[in-house]
Amino acid sequence: MDVKKAQKINLLLLKEFDRFCRAHDIKYRLEAGTLLGAIRHKGFVPWDDDCDVVLTRENYEKLINCVKTDEFKAPFKFVRATDYKDAHFFDFVDRLFYVGEVYREGEKYRDRYDGYLKYLWLDIFVLDGVDEQNRNKNYFLLKVLYGLAMGHRYFINYKKYALGDKLKVFVLSAIGKLISCKYLVKKYFETVKKNCERTKGKTCSKYYYMNYPIVYIEYEVDKEDEKDIIYVDFEDAKLPVIKEYDKLLKVLYGNYEKLPEESKRVPEHIDII
């Protein structure tokens, strides 16, 4: 399946998620490369083959409660990070899968990760308040637990990490293989919950991405900025983005208006493992 085909399915995922959120008055916005594509290309980044959204904790809890009484339309399937029965680990992210068509062929996708990796999906990230007093401790614990959980991945792509991070991931994942994956997932979300309890009722000026990949957990956004959402053209739809997208994209990508060198304009998820 080529990138164009993947983007057609990703657009279906975005539209279905948008439909569900509008129906239940849940606020969300585009995130990461999907946000970049919306602003720079008015749709997908031409070589991108995945999609990402983000919600604040309040809206995420609302989403979870709504899913209990309503469902996404077929052939979409919502799967929480804590739902996987398989012993492999693939991030602490809830996902909306499009199960109507197989995207990745091969035996390695058929059995591992409950068989879900053969499909395309939408990543759902969550913003939690930053406990400034315990900020560094919280990030440290989450990174350690994330690194340990990576010991239960079928494959680790070390090319994604800087030299120092490669060593950390190697050591932590080696230790993590000796610890139950279910235990590590449980401890990760217990750590997140403790942070939420500490910040409950407090006035926090910043959000952090609770379930971002290990090297990005410390990314923070201004809480005030998340209140202002605008709708922009995205392919043939209108989807929500943060009004202060320029500030956020500069944090994530630096000079985001400049295209990367041609050798880096390649899809990252065609062969995920």
pLDDT digits (tens, 9 = 90+) for 107-162: 777 777 778 888 899 999 999 999 999 999 999 999 999 999 999 988 888 887 88
| Residue 161 token pair | 């990490």
Q: What band does 88 get if pLDDT is binned at 50, 70 and 90? A: confident
In this prediction, residue 222 carries a pLDDT of: 93
User: Phi first, then psi: what are they for 61, rounded to 5°?
Assistant: -60, -35
Q: Can you tell me the distance from the alpha carbon of 54 to that of 38, in angstroms, rounded to the nearest whole number?
A: 14
DSSP state of 238: E
Helix (H) or strand (E) holding 135: helix 135-149
Q: What is the pTM of this model?
A: 0.92
In degrees, rounded to 5, the angle at the alpha carbon of residue 244 between the alpha carbons of residues 243 and 246 is: 120
Classify each residue of 13-27 as buried b or exposed e, where b means 16 or more C-beta atoms within 10 Å of its C-beta: bbebbbebbeeeebb
CB 192 within 8 A of CB 217: no
| Residue 129 token pair | 């308040």
Pick the closest to residue 127 from 32, 51, 44, 45 (CA basis): 32
Pick the closest to residue 209 from 87, 270, 145, 125 (CA basis): 125
